[in-house]
Amino acid sequence: MSVVTTKRFSIDEYHRLIALGFLQENDHIELIRGELIQIVAKGTPHTVCGSILCRQLDRSLGDRADIRGQDPITLPNQS
């Protein structure tokens, strides 16, 4: 019986893979809880819902928050 061991990546390691060219923007890869996850391209329903949500949040929150839809964000590990 074989044992498979997975490698969890830190945020710094992930950014290093990008800097070294191992990951490209067109790869659609995200780091989620230490795992490299390939994401699918957004379709029309996703895009429309995201736009509506951002517009409603912006109206509701006004100057109390900055709304960013679908923009990259780096969060601490385990966020």
Phi, psi of 38, rounded to the nearest 5 degrees? -85, 125
Counting the structural domains of the chain, the total is: 1
The pLDDT tens digits of the residues spanning 55-70 come to: 999 999 999 998 888 7
Tell me, yes or no, whether 75 lies in a domain: no
Tell me, yes or no, whether 39 lies in a domain: yes
Q: Are 47 and 41 in contact (CB under 8 A)?
A: no
Does residue 40 register a pLDDT over 90? no
Tell me, yes or no, whether 31 lies in a domain: yes
User: Which DSSP helix (H) or strand (E) runs through 41?
Assistant: none
Q: Are 39 and 28 in contact (CB under 8 A)?
A: yes
Tell me, yes or no, whether 78 lies in a domain: no
- Domain extent, residue 22, equals 11-64
The pLDDT tens digits of the residues spanning 6-27 come to: 899 999 999 999 999 999 878 8
List CB contacts of 40: < 8 A, sequence separation 6 or more: 28
The fraction of the chain above a pLDDT of 90, given in percent, is 44
Tell me, yes or no, whether 41 lies in a domain: yes
Tell me, yes or no, whether 40 lies in a domain: yes
What's the chain's average pLDDT? Answer: 88
What distance in Å separates the CA atoms of residue 58 and residue 65, rounded to the nearest whole number?
8
